[in-house]
Structures are given as structure tokens and as C-alpha cells.
Amino acid sequence: MADAAITVEDARKTYGGSGGKHGKPALDGLDLTVARGTVHGVLGPNGAGKTTLVRILATLLRPDAGRVEVAGHDVVREGYAVRLRIGLLGQHAALDEELGGRQNLELFGRLHHLGARRARARADELLERFGLSGTGHKAVKQYSGGMRRRLDLAASLITDPEVLFLDEPTTGLDPRGRAEVWDSVRSLVGGGTTVLLTTQYLEEADQLADRISVVDGGRVVADGTADELKAAIGGDRIDVVLRDAGQLGAAVALLPVPRDAVTVDTDRRLLSAPVTDRMAALAGVVRALEESGVDAEDIALRRPTLDEVFLRLTGTGDRPKEAA
């Protein structure tokens, strides 16, 4: 693809060599294409190969085989050209705890060969952009998790990269810290930066990513938009719980779908059916139940969660580190 920022074809990596003691491949024929200016989510459980992929993309690790290009350059043959064009937010933060946020950013700027004045200007600009201006002088060890991660993000943007890699940017953050980081990531994309982010959080991929690759065992087991992934396991559903299991038969006929599309769970007095128009279905079912005197205890519309998509696709039963 001509406008691809990232192309990965049949990438393979086994730590310690394929004959080595870590015989199981970390990447096992992984394919991925990311269009410029988009956010691509790589979603997978522990050990799926996410960090291995990011390290290969960021030229920190060589693939055993496959073609890997970032910003138009081959990561193996043109590593230097790639490094000039990327930013990386690692899974573990790389900040100096004793220094203030501003000092950290200036240090990063100097490490990237910005002159003292430009490093300072860039630090101020980034602190401002990530809502950290007021705390630039505070030592990083006094920062909250969310602030820390935003500072990390700012550091990864020192050189205004074309392509940015974020390896589990919000793992370990509380919901507020996570929301702050999400906002920051969203604000990047308007500027044309291509972002590849890895996550174990289905909601995160859903919130941020234009497209998602679900990775398990070092390969992509499914990809598409969040909506496409959800559609792949069936669309929205309506769940109806009755007070009286004896009325289940009558209630099936009230749902706006053919009988054989309705799932009946007698023990839980639950009917579940796929719907196309959520609100129309909800209104219609409430009315029909009322008119026919069927007593419902609960009615809920729900989309299949990415959790369901994920579990269905990887079949591992692995859950994200933090329950959604």
C-alpha cells in the first residue's frame, strides 16, 4: 500500500533462535498494514507478541524473517532512517524520577540533538499540550500515574515523529489516568501522526483505534474496525428477563425476529435476540410485553463487547489484567 506508514509481512521471531531453548516463536507469521495518519490497535493477551512486534518496528530487535517497513524504510537495512521518524512509548516508563517533568523533557531533547534553546522551547510546548504546564518543576516521583504517562507520551514526541508506537500506554492506570492518556492520544492524531498502540484493554482499542488487529500466539487472528469485529460475532442484542418462566413461550413470539433466532435460557428466565434497530426494537418489545400482559423483570439492549469478540477469536479465556 503506497500510503502505508507501517507494513509488516510474514514477520517471524523466536527468542534465542528457532533451535534455542525458547523454541516457541514470539512472532509466527504476523501481517499488518497501517495507513498513514490513523491509529491502529494491536490487541492481545499477555505473551501474544505485542512488545516483540513494537521492538521490531522500533528497530530495537531484528526479525528472523519477513518484511517490515516503517515510514517507507526497511527496519533492518535502513534502521537509522526509521529511527529518525519514530517515537516510542515503552511498556515501562523511561523517566528520571528525581528530575522535574520539564527537566526530563529538556534532557530528552538534548539526547535527540536539539540545541539547548530548542530543547527548552519544545519542552514547554509539550508540557502545555499535555496539560502539565503547572507541574513542570515538580519531581516526577511526585506525579500521579496518569501525569507520568502523559509526560512519557510528551517525551516520545520530542522529535515530532511521523510514526508513534505506544506499548500498553494505560496499563496500571486508574480510570481517570486512562481517560487523560486517551485524550492526549486523540489530540495527536489530528496532527497527522500515525499511531500504533498495543493494549490488553478491549475498551481502549475500541475508543482510540481506527482499525484493530487481534493478536494471539504471534499472529493476527482477526482484524477490522471495532464495529466489524463486533459484527463478525453478530450485531446488537436485546435481552429480556421475565418474572415467570411459564410465559417464555408467549414472549418469544413478541420479539421482532424469527423464532429460531431467539435464544431461550429457562433457568434464568432469559430471552435474547439479535436486533438491527436498537431503539425501535426496545420500544417495540416494551409495548408488546405490556399489551400482552407478559411481566418483564429486566430488559436490556447490549452490543457484543470487544471482550466477547476477543474471547471468541482467541479462545484462550484470558482476561485483561484489570476486569473491565
Ligand X SMILES: Nc1ncnc2c1ncn2[C@@H]1O[C@H](COP(=O)(O)OP(=O)(O)OP(=O)(O)O)[C@@H](O)[C@H]1O
Residues 47-66 that bind Mg ion (CB under 5 A): 50-51
Q: Which does 193 bind (CB under 5 to 8 A by kind): ligand X, Mg ion, none?
A: none
x-or-dash string of contact with Mg ion, 72-101, rule CB under 5 A: -------------------x----------
Residues contacting Mg ion: total by CB under 5 A: 3
Of 221 and 288, nearer to ligand X (C-beta) is: 221
Of 102 and 219, nearer to ligand X (C-beta) is: 219
Of 91 and 225, nearer to Mg ion (C-beta) is: 91
68 alpha-carbon distance from chain centroid? 21
Q: CB of 121 within 8 A of CB of 198?
A: no
- Shortest Å, Cβ 177 to Mg ion: 19
- Shortest Å, Cβ 269 to ligand X: 39
- Shortest Å, Cβ 228 to ligand X: 22
In sequence order, which ranges of the chain are alpha helices (DSSP H)?
50-57, 79-85, 101-111, 116-129, 145-156, 175-189, 202-208, 226-232, 248-252, 278-291, 306-314
Of 9 and 28, nearer to ligand X (C-beta) is: 28
Which strand (E) or helix (H) includes residue 8? Answer: strand 4-13
Of 31 and 125, nearer to ligand X (C-beta) is: 31
- Shortest Å, Cβ 320 to Mg ion: 13
- Shortest Å, Cβ 245 to ligand X: 43
Rounded-to-integer distance, Cα 303 and Cα 324, Å? 15
Which single residue is written with the C-alpha cell 491509529? Answer: 39
Rounded-to-integer distance, Cα 300 and Cα 103, Å? 51
Rounded-to-integer distance, Cα 124 and Cα 210, Å? 30
Single-letter amino acid, residue 138: K
Of 48 and 163, nearer to Mg ion (C-beta) is: 48
- Shortest Å, Cβ 117 to Mg ion: 37
Which residue in 137, 109, 140, 141 sits closest to 122, CA to CA? 109
Q: Which does 47 bind (CB under 5 to 8 A by kind): ligand X, Mg ion, none?
A: ligand X
The DSSP symbol for 100 reads: B
Q: Which does 44 bind (CB under 5 to 8 A by kind): ligand X, Mg ion, none?
A: ligand X
- Shortest Å, Cβ 184 to ligand X: 21
Phi, psi of 186, rounded to the nearest 5 degrees:
-60, -40
Q: Which residue is nearest to Mg ion (CB)?
A: 51
- Point out which residues bind ligand X (CB under 6 A): 15, 22, 26, 44, 46-52, 91, 200
**Composition of the chain by helix, strand, coil, percent to 5:** 35, 25, 35
Of 14 and 104, nearer to ligand X (C-beta) is: 14
With helix as H, strand as E and coil as C, how does 134-158 read? HHCCCEHHHCCHHHHHHHHHHHHCC
Which residue in 182, 181, 184 sits closest to 206, CA to CA? 182
Rule CB under 5 A: which residues touch Mg ion?
50-51, 91
